[in-house]
Amino acid sequence: MPEEEMRDLIDRYKKKIESELGPTVEKGIENFEEKTMTKEYLEFKDEYIPGHMTLYEKACNISEGLVKVTPDKKKEEELKESINICHLNITPTGATSFAMVFPLFLIVVTSIISILFFKSFFVVLFFIILGISIIGPLGKLPIFLANTWRLKASNQMVLCVFYVVTYMRHTSNLELALRFASDHIAPPLNLDLKKIVWNVETEHYSTIKESLEAYLQTWRKWNLEFIESFHLIEASLYEGEEKTRVATLDKALDVILTETYERMLHYAQNLKSPITMLHMLGIILPILGLVIMPLIVSFLSNVKWYYISLLYNIGLPVLVFYLGKTILSKRPTGYGNTDISELPEYQKYKGLTLKAGKTEIKIRPIHLSVTIAILFLIIGLSPLILHMFIEDESNLGFGDDDESSTCLRAFCLLDYRTTETDKTIGPFGLGASLLSLFITISAGFSLGYYFKLRSSKVIEIRKKTEELEQEFASGLFQLGNRLGDGLPAETAFGKVATAMQGTTSGSFFQMVSLNIRRLGMGVAEAIFNPKHGAVVYFPSNLIQSSMKVLIESVKKGPKVAAMALMNISRYIKEIHKVNERLKDLMAEVISSMNSQIKFLTPVIAGIVIGITSMVTTILGKLALQMKQLTEGSEGGMGGAIASGFFGQGVPTYYFQLVVGIYVVQITYILTILSNGIQNGSDKLNERYLLGNNLIRSTILYTVVAGAIMLIFNFIANKIMATSLLGAA
C-alpha cells in the first residue's frame, strides 16, 4: 500500500474514533503511560513523604519564583540526583534559590527586630553571621535529605536481601520475591520495592529485571554490596542445577553480610576524629566558656543575658546538629529495626490510660506533656510575675537579718536592683534563681515525658519480640528437623512446643499447636487467624515471614519445607552475629557519648551555675557595702566607683535559664546522634532514649545546680558576714 493511502486510512480512522469518543482521545492515548505513572507516583509519594518535605518544596518553589539562582553544572547534577532520591517536586534552581532567599529574609527581619526592640549591634551582627553561614548548608539540604533517606533505606537492606533469598530458595520468581520482601520490611525501602513492581505494571519498564536494574543504579555510589547481592540473585534464575542455584542465593546473602561488616569497621575507625571534634565543639569548649562566664557577666556590665542565649541556644546547637548530621550521613548499611509504634494495632499503647471502674480514659501524650510544661513554666516565671504586682520587695527574703542585703535578709527572693540610670534590673535573689530551675524542668522533663509515654510500652513489646527472634532460630531448626523426619506440620509444632517448653519460642509453637488441636484450624489459620492466630500475640515481621515461607514450601512436600526452615534458621543466626559485631565496633564511641549525655554535661553545667550564683551574690553585696561605707564621702563618688567597678552583671535567674536550655538541647542532639550511629534510622528506640535521657539529664542538672547554689550561697553569706565583723 502506498504511503499516501496509508496516511489517509489512518486519518479516517482517527476522525471516526474522535467522532465517537471525543477529540481528546488521541492525546489521552499518547499520554496514557504518563498519566498512569503520575497517578501511581502520587499515591506512592503521598503514602510516605514526610510533611516537612512538603513545606520545603513550597519554600523552594516560591523562592525560585522570586529570584532564580542557577547552580553550576556539577552541583546541578548532584542536586538533581538527590531530589530524585527524595521524590521532591523541586528543581536544582529552586533549591539553590531558597538557599539564598531564606538567609537574606532572615537577616533583614532579625535586623529590623533587633534595632526596634534590642537596639543592639551585637544582635544584628550575630544574625548577619548566622544568615551567611547557613547559605552553604541550605544549598546542600537536598543532599542531606537524600542521605537521611538512604540511611533509612539502607538500614533495611540486609533484611531485604534475606527475605528475597529466603523466598527464592523455594520459589524461583524474582517479582514474587520482591513483593514478599516489600511486605516484611519497613519504609522507605519497602515502598521503593513496590515502585519497582509498579514501574513494570505501568509499562515504564518491560521487565522486572530492567526496573530493578534502574533502581539499583541509584545505589551505585553508596552501596555496591547491595547491587552485587541482587546481581547474584538474578544470576540464580539462569542456573540449571538446583544445587548451584541455591548456592548462588546463599552467596548473595553472604556478600551483603560480609561487606556490611567491613564497611562498618572502616566507619568505626574513621569515626573517632569527627566525634572528638564534635565533643570539643559541643561539650568541652562551651563548658570552658561557662566556667569563665561568671567573671564576664559580673565585670562587664554591657553583656546582656540574651547575648549569651544567642550563642548557646541558637549558634552552638545549630553547629553541633549540622556536624552530627554530617557524621551520620556517612554511616553505611546496618541491620535495622521496625518502628512498630506507627502500626494501627499499637496506637493504643502510645499514651496514658486511666481506669475509672469499667471506663477507660485515654490521655494523649502531647496533652499531658503540655499541661506539665505550662505548670512548671508558671512556677519558673513567678519571680517576674511577682515583680509586676508587688511594689515593696524589701522584705521578700529568708534567713538571718543582714543589713548588707537589699531585702535586709541573708537571702533574697527577688532582689531587683536599681542602676545609676534609675533602671531596675534583676532578679538577683537566690529564691528567684532556684525558681528558674523550674523553667528548665518545664522544657526538659515535659519533652522527655512526652517521648517516654509514646515509646515505653511499645519498646517493651518490641524487646520481647526481639528475645523471641533470638530464640526463634533454634525453634525453626528443630521444626525443620521434625519435618525432615517425615512428620506432618500439624504434629511437628506440638513436638517442638514440648521440647522448648518454658521459652518464648515454645509459647509460640504451643499456641499454634493448641489452635490446631482444640479449635480444629489448619496450620495457616492457626498461625495467621486475625483473632486467635499465634502471630497476633507475637508481632514480628521475621516470624511472620518465616511462617509464610513454611506455608508455601510445605505445599511442595515436608522435605522442601524442612530445608527452607533450616536455612532460615541459619540466616537468622548469621544476621544476628553480624549485628552483634557491629554493636561491638560502636561500643566505645557510644559509651563515651552516653557518659556525656547522662552525667558529665549536666553535672558540670550545674556546678557552673552554682559558682555563678555565688560570685554574683558576693559582688552584689560588696558593691552595696562599699556604697554604704562611702556614702556621703566626696558626694557619694565611692558608691559610684564601686558600682562601676563591680557592675551589676547578669542575674543568675537568666544565666541559669540559658545554661539549662542548652543542657536540654545538647542532650537532645547527642541522643539522636548516638542512636543514629548505633542503630541507624530507628525512630522507636530514638524516642525511647530521648525520653530516658532528657528526664535523667534534666533532673540531674536541676538537683546539682540547686544544691550547689544553696551550698555556695551559704558559704558566700558566711564570708560576707565575717568580712563585715572584721570591718567593724
* pLDDT, tens only, 210-257: 899 988 888 887 778 888 999 999 999 888 888 898 889 888 888 887
Under the phi-then-psi rule, with left for phi > 0, alpha for psi from -120 to 50, and beta for the rest, what region is 535?
alpha
- Higher per-residue pLDDT: 395 or 631: 395
Q: How many CB atoms lie within 10 A of CB 546?
A: 25
Q: What's the N-to-C CA distance of the chain in angstroms?
A: 126
Lowest mean pLDDT among 182-196, 280-294, 696-710: 280-294
pLDDT at 268: 73
Cα Rg of the chain (Å, integer): 33
Write down the pLDDT at residue 24.
42
User: What φ, ψ does residue 391 adopt, rounded to 5°?
Assistant: -80, -45
At 205, is the pLDDT very low, low, confident or very high (cuts 50, 70, 90)?
Answer: confident
pLDDT of residue 35: 38
Q: Is 73 exposed, middle or buried (0-12, 13-18, 19+ CB in 10 A)?
A: exposed
Q: What pLDDT score was predicted for residue 127?
A: 86
Using an 8 Å Cβ cutoff, are 528 and 535 in contact? yes
Rounded distance between C-alpha atoms, residue 454 and residue 476, angstroms: 33
pLDDT at 477 over 60: yes
Q: What are phi and psi of 462, to 5 degrees?
A: -70, -35
Mean predicted lDDT score pLDDT of the chain: 77
343 within 8 A of 685, measured Cβ to Cβ: no
Mean pLDDT (whole number) for 676-695: 83
Rounded distance between C-alpha atoms, residue 628 and residue 639, angstroms: 7
Using DSSP, state whether 369 is helix, strand or coil. helix
Burial 372-388 (b: 16+ CB within 10 A, else e): bbeebbebbebbeebbe
pLDDT band at 700 (very low <50, low <70, confident <90, very high): very high
Q: Beta-carbon neighbour count of residue 166 at 10 Å?
A: 25
Pick from 723, 704, 719, 716: which is nearest to 616 by CA? 716
Percentage of residues of the chain with pLDDT beyond 70: 77
Comparing CA positions, the residue from 495, 372, 541 lying closest to residue 443 is: 372
- For the cut 80, the answer to whether the pLDDT of residue 44 exceeds it is no
Residue found under cell 511442595: 556
Low-confidence winner among 233-242, 302-311, 331-340, 378-387 (lowest mean pLDDT): 331-340
* CA angle at 162 for the pair 160 and 163, rounded to the nearest 5°: 70
CA distance 650 to 655: 7
Assessment of whether the complete model's pTM goes beyond 0.95: no
Packed helices 430-484 and 652-679: angle between N→C axes, nearest 10 degrees? 10
Neighbouring C-alpha atoms within 13 Å toward the C-beta of 215: 26
Name the band, by pLDDT with cuts 50, 70 and 90, for residue 445: very high
Cα gap 422→512, rounded to integer Å: 82
Select the more confidently predicted residue: 572 or 22.
572
- The residue behind cell 511499645 is 458
**CA pair distance 413, 217, nearest whole angstrom:** 67
Q: How do residues 655-682 score in pLDDT, each as one tens digit?
A: 889 889 999 999 998 888 888 777 766 7
